[in-house]
Amino acid sequence: MRKLLAVAAISVAINGANFSDYIDAVTLSIGKSKDKINIYRIGIRKDFTPFAKNRAITIGGYWEASLNYWEKGSSNNFGIALSPVFALYFNMGEFHPYIEAGVGASYFTKTHIANRDISSHWHFEDRVGAGFRYKNFDFGFRYMHYSNAGLVKPNQGIDIFIGSISYKF
């Protein structure tokens, strides 16, 4: 792993890649599952080039990579995720309300959290949400679902309600 990170760092230095080529926002999120598992996330984002844009709406989205920490009592789980998220933004000057949806992939270190058997390390990360962007800030509220889609039994997915704030550089 160290060698891979060193090669990546050298490659970026040699090619002169700008940090903003890969990341344009950082996100902090906090939420709770239906069965009271506390959820904490930190993520980095990169907006897509919009698919369509006019004076009233923009159809676009972003990639989000996140580190996730789940805990309930003395039980915990740590994960990473990568998701493309598609959004419909309503253009109102500097104020942009939106709705969004996405499906990505995640990996968790444990197959249990509290009394939940999530059966596998790999899961889909599904989300639907709404929020608004104002200047460099994005405030969102999402419903997220982590599940292995029945590929491994039992498939006790996790349903989460989560709020987030992002800062765009």
Catalytic residue numbers read 145, 147, 159
Residue-wise pLDDT for 9-39, tens only, equals: 555 555 555 667 889 999 999 999 999 999 9
pLDDT interval class at 79 (50, 70, 90): very high
Residues in the chain: 169
Residue-wise pLDDT for 113-139, tens only, equals: 988 899 999 999 999 999 999 999 999
- Report the first-to-last Cα separation within the chain, whole angstroms: 29
Q: Please provide the CATH number assigned to the domain covering 20-168.
A: 2.40.160.20
Domain ranges for the chain:
20-168
